[in-house]
Amino acid sequence: MTTTTANRPITVAIDAMGGDNAPAAIVRGAQIAAKQGLCDIILVGRGSELRSILPAPQAHLRLAEASETIAMDAQPTQVRQMPDSSIMVGLQLVADGHADAFLSFGNTGAVMAASLLRLGRIPGVARPALGALFHNARGAPSLILDVGANAEVRPDYLCQFAAMGKAYFERVLHHRNPSVGLLNVGEESTKGAAVVQEAYELLTRQEPNFVGNVEGNALIRGKADVVVTDGFSGNIAVKVSEGVVERVMDELRKSIKQRLLYMAGAWLMRGAFESLRDQWDYSRVGSAPLFGINGAVLVGHGRADPEAVASGIRSAVGIVQSNVVEAIREAFAGAAEQESPPQRNPSFPRKREPTR
C-alpha cells in the first residue's frame, strides 16, 4: 500500500535524534506514518535508545545505526567532524540511493552544512534556502524563502531564491507566471538595508514577474506567490505568525469559558472553529524543503510532536513525488554552465565530498 517511485516504495530517512522531543516523538511519529503505509521509513540514530522506545518490529519501519548526535547549539562547521552523526548518516543514505529523502527536526544550520557535504548543491545554485509554504488570505499557496538556512544573504542569492521558488510553482504546482516579491519594511525601492535595496534593483532588471516590495501584512495577504528574504527575517515572520495564531485561539478559548452564553454560541459554531484550526495548525504543516540541495532534504519544527512528525513525513513524500529537485535542476541548467566563482564564505564547501 506504500506510494511507489518507479518500482520500489518511496523511502524516507529520518534523523531520530534531532528535535526538542527526540527521540521519543520522532519514533512515535514514524510509527504513525508507517502504519498509514505512506512510505518506507528508516529511523537513523542510536539503536539501543531507539529499540527501547520501539520494542517490536513494524512493517515499513527499520533502523540505521548512527553513534553521534549533533546538538541544537552546534555550529554548522562541526558536522564535518561528526561523520557518524544521525544527520550525516541519514544524508549518506540518500547519497547512496538507499533513501529518496532525508528529514530532520534538529539543527537547521547543521542539516544545511551536512547536506552540502553529502549531497552538494544543484549546479548553478550559490546557496540553498529553506522554503515555507502557507495559505495566504486569497486562499492560494504562497512560498517564503529563506526561513532559516542563511542568516545573511547577498542580492544575487535573493534572485536565486526567487528562481527556485518560481520553479516550484511552475513545475510542481503547475502555476503559470508566479509573481515574485521582496520582503521589506515599505513599498518604496529606497527601503531596507543596502543588500535589500540592491536586491530590489537586481530583481527589477532580471525578474519579469517582480511585483516589488512586500511588507509583513502584504505577505499574509498574498501580494506575491514567491516572497524572498534572508533566513533571519523569514524565520521571524513564520514564527511570529505561529505565535499570533496560537494567541488568538487561546484568547478566544478563554473568553468563551467566561460565560455560558458564549459557550453555547461556540458549540453552535464549532464547525467554523475547526475549519479555522485546520488551516492554521502548524503541526499539520510538517516540514519545509531545503531548496537548492542536490537531493530531497526537509527540515521540520524542533517542537514537533508525533502528529507533526508524521505530517513532516507526508511532506517529504510529496516533495519526492513532485520531483522538486529535478525542477530546480532544469531551471538552473543555463546558470550551471557559467557557474559562479568561489563564494565568500569558505565554511560551506561547494563540492560534493567523497562519501565515507
Q: Residues interacting with its own copies, by CB under 8 A?
A: 72-75, 137, 148, 151-152, 183, 185-193, 196, 215-221, 229, 231-233, 235-248, 250-252, 255-256, 258-259, 261-262, 264-272, 275-276, 279-280
Query: Smallest gap, in angstroms, from Cβ of residue 122 to its own copies?
Result: 24
Strands 296-300 and 287-291 come out as antiparallel
Query: Smallest gap, in angstroms, from Cβ of residue 98 to its own copies?
Result: 30
HSE at residue 83, side-chain half, CA atoms within 13 A, is: 6
Query: Smallest gap, in angstroms, from Cβ of residue 280 to its own copies?
Result: 7
Residue of 258, 256, 280, 283 whose CA lies nearest to 269: 256
Q: How far apart are CA 87 and CA 91, in angstroms?
A: 6
Give the ranges where the chain is alpha helix by DSSP (H). Answer: 24-35, 47-53, 86-95, 108-118, 155-171, 194-206, 216-221, 231-257, 260-268, 270-280, 306-322, 324-331, 333-337
Residue of 349, 350, 287, 353 whose CA lies nearest to 324: 287
Query: Smallest gap, in angstroms, from Cβ of residue 25 to its own copies?
Result: 18
Query: Smallest gap, in angstroms, from Cβ of residue 262 to its own copies?
Result: 4
Taking the least distance from each CB to its own copies, the nearer of 101 and 149 is 149
Taking the least distance from each CB to its own copies, the nearer of 283 and 323 is 283
Query: Smallest gap, in angstroms, from Cβ of residue 101 to its own copies?
Result: 24
Query: Smallest gap, in angstroms, from Cβ of residue 156 to its own copies?
Result: 18
Taking the least distance from each CB to its own copies, the nearer of 86 and 108 is 108
CA 40 to chain centre: 20
Taking the least distance from each CB to its own copies, the nearer of 244 and 333 is 244
Query: Smallest gap, in angstroms, from Cβ of residue 282 to its own copies?
Result: 9
Task: Indicate if the alpha-carbon torsion angle 291, 78, 306, 119 is positive or negative.
Answer: positive
**Phi and psi (nearest 5°) for 228?**
-105, 145
Taking the least distance from each CB to its own copies, the nearer of 9 and 128 is 128
CA 150 to chain centre: 13
Residue of 327, 267, 255, 262 whose CA lies nearest to 291: 327
Q: How far apart are CA 132 and CA 223, in angstroms?
A: 16
Taking the least distance from each CB to its own copies, the nearer of 246 and 326 is 246
Residue-by-residue DSSP string for 215-250: -HHHHHHTS-SEEE--HHHHHHHHHHHHHHHHHHHH
Give Cα separations from 243 to 151, 173, 248, 281, 307 (angstroms). Answer: 21, 28, 9, 11, 19
Taking the least distance from each CB to its own copies, the nearer of 38 and 288 is 288
Q: Which residue has the cell 565568500?
A: 344
Residue 356 CB neighbours (<10 A): 10
Taking the least distance from each CB to its own copies, the nearer of 190 and 338 is 190
Taking the least distance from each CB to its own copies, the nearer of 266 and 335 is 266
Query: Smallest gap, in angstroms, from Cβ of residue 193 to its own copies?
Result: 4
